[in-house]
Amino acid sequence: MEHRPEHLPDDSVRAGLARLGIHATELSYAAVGFGDHHWYVTATDGTRWFATVADLENKPHCGDGAAAALAGLRSAMETAVRLRAAGLEFVVAPFGEPVVELGDRYALSVFPVVEGTSGHFGQEMAAGDGVLVQELLARLHTTRVDAPAWSIDPPALRMDGVWSDGPYAEQARRLVDEHESMIRKRFEEFERLAEGVRGAAVVVTHGEPHPGNLIRGAAGFHLVDWDTVGVAVPERDLSVLTDNPAELARYQELTGHEPSADALRLYRLRWHLNDLVEFVDWFREPHTDDPDTVLAWTSFQETLAALGQTTTGVSGCGT
């Protein structure tokens, strides 16, 4: 996120780090990503760390409300630890206690700094890199560890009721009204596609293996941001790469699973519907006009445009 979290001074982050045995000499806020807050950390022994703080009141994919989100986040981070221990060296798992509470609203996870080049959300992936990611996902999907279930259904969209008086609320409400018919058709389409996926074989999935969550190191790609990990059909991950099963030949060769075009479309559509719900909730609730809200407003319009197309591609803010 561009802005620092409310009511969370650096001293609180330092205290959380100390609980993990990391005593910070340097702590600098990193205005990167969308959703969580990040710091670069240098410890007294010279080691470098990447600290991530989740705002539990704004973590709906982990749980509804701060307490449920904390439990969901902890389950996700513990899954990443198990995957790493199972031999998946590309999994960037948290160090020490996977989740450290910072009061009632925030939670800290700390990761080793990974040397390499990061991508960014929405980046076009070269064909060769796409094959490498297919190989990475094949290893993940054939690894058996305990992992949280991931609901196929997107969150419910609130189209009625009171909106806040925030700076974008009225504009957002008008856009939802203008696109109401299209939005309802997309949710109906999702339900039709979902019927063909319910009951299918499931695997452990990352959820968002896009370039923004990949770091190219000397030995290959590393995959970060495991708070969306969950058991689902393989197409949940594969849909981030493509909606064309023919482009997933390497994955099929390695796993024996023939990706379904309908399931790929389902999860690409789900991505947009999930973004839509989150943006509508953002603008319905009290909000300020800051860089993160500006980005959310632009992405909200892009999401509506993508939903209006016959074929939906993956876009939005990312995490």
Q: What is the pLDDT of residues 234-271, one digit of tens each?
A: 999 999 999 999 999 999 999 999 999 999 999 999 99
Q: Residue 90: its pLDDT value, please?
A: 98
Q: In this structure, are 72 and 157 located in the same domain?
A: no
d(CA 319, CA 206): 13
Confidence bin at 309 (pLDDT 50/70/90): confident
Angstrom CA distances, 282 to 58, 105, 139, 149, stand at: 9, 17, 36, 26
- Give the mean model confidence (pLDDT) for residues 3-12: 84
d(CA 127, CA 312): 20
Mean pLDDT of the chain: 92
Write phi, then psi, for 285 (nearest 5 degrees).
Answer: -85, 165
User: Can you tell me whether residue 204 is helix, strand or coil?
Assistant: strand
d(CA 75, CA 287): 30
Write phi, then psi, for 281 (nearest 5 degrees).
Answer: -60, -40
Q: What is the pLDDT of residues 157-214, one digit of tens each?
A: 988 888 999 999 999 999 999 999 999 999 999 999 999 999 999 999 999 999 999 9
Partners of residue 40 on adjacent β-strands: 28, 50
Q: Residue 123: its pLDDT value, please?
A: 83
- By the 10 Å C-beta count (0-12 exposed, 13-18 middle, 19+ buried), 296 is classed as buried
Range of the domain at 162: 127-308
The answer to whether 60 and 226 have CB atoms below 8 angstroms apart is no
d(CA 102, CA 110): 13
The answer to whether 280 and 176 have CB atoms below 8 angstroms apart is yes
Q: Residue 37: its pLDDT value, please?
A: 92
The answer to whether 287 and 4 have CB atoms below 8 angstroms apart is no
Confidence bin at 1 (pLDDT 50/70/90): low
Q: Which residue, 84, 113, 142, sits at the end of a domain?
A: 113
Q: Which one, of 72, 68, 73, lies nearest residue 53 by Cα?
A: 73
d(CA 259, CA 252): 7
Q: In this structure, are 54 and 143 located in the same domain?
A: no
Q: Residue 318: its pLDDT value, please?
A: 47
Q: Residue 158: its pLDDT value, please?
A: 86
Q: Which one, of 194, 66, 54, lies nearest residue 111 by Cα?
A: 54
The answer to whether 141 and 205 have CB atoms below 8 angstroms apart is yes
Q: In this structure, are 100 and 138 located in the same domain?
A: no
Q: Residue 313: its pLDDT value, please?
A: 54
Asked if the model's pLDDT at residue 8 lies above 60, the reply is yes
Q: In this structure, are 104 and 140 located in the same domain?
A: no
d(CA 10, CA 113): 19
Partners of residue 24 on adjacent β-strands: 43
Q: In this structure, are 59 and 103 located in the same domain?
A: yes
> Beta-strand (E) ranges in 68-114?
100-102, 106-112
Q: In this structure, are 145 and 288 located in the same domain?
A: yes
d(CA 19, CA 253): 45
Confidence bin at 316 (pLDDT 50/70/90): very low
Q: What is the pLDDT of residues 263-300, one digit of tens each?
A: 999 999 999 999 999 999 999 999 999 888 998 999 99
List the CATH number of the domain containing 105: 3.30.200.20
| 143-147, 182-186, 215-219, 301-305: least confidently modelled range | 215-219
Q: How many domains does the chain have?
A: 2
